[in-house]
Amino acid sequence: MIVCQACGHRNPLRTRYCHACGVRLEANLREIAVAVEEDREAQMAERWLERGRSLFLLGAFFLTCALVLRYAVVPELPPAVMPPIAAGPLLPPAASAP
């Protein structure tokens, strides 16, 4: 950002005239270096935001695929029916009641 000396408006980098008042911008070397650094940081933040958005969309896509596979493609399994347990010769005899 290049700050206008006349009105104090913060103009984007590579601006020759102030966007607010139209005065020709006179930026010294230090101001330009700070502006370049701010511009680089803004680009980096935007890049990370874009990566986060991509990761979120990828996760949503895989979640949707998993839900479709679970409920639309794979049929529901029948309930398990277990046979009754029969007392075999290996089990100890039941205690006799007095």
Q: Does 18 bind Zn ion (CB under 5 A)?
A: yes
**With CB under 5 A as the contact rule, which of the stretches 11-19, 28-36, 47-55, 58-66 interacts with Zn ion?**
11-19
Structure tokens at 98: 């007095």
- Least Cβ distance, residue 39 to Zn ion (angstroms): 19
Q: CA 38 to CA 28: how far, in whole Å?
A: 16
Q: CA 77 to CA 91: how far, in whole Å?
A: 33
Q: Which residues pair with 10 in a beta bridge?
A: 3
Which residue in 12, 20, 50, 53 binds Zn ion (CB under 5 A)? 20
- Least Cβ distance, residue 59 to Zn ion (angstroms): 45
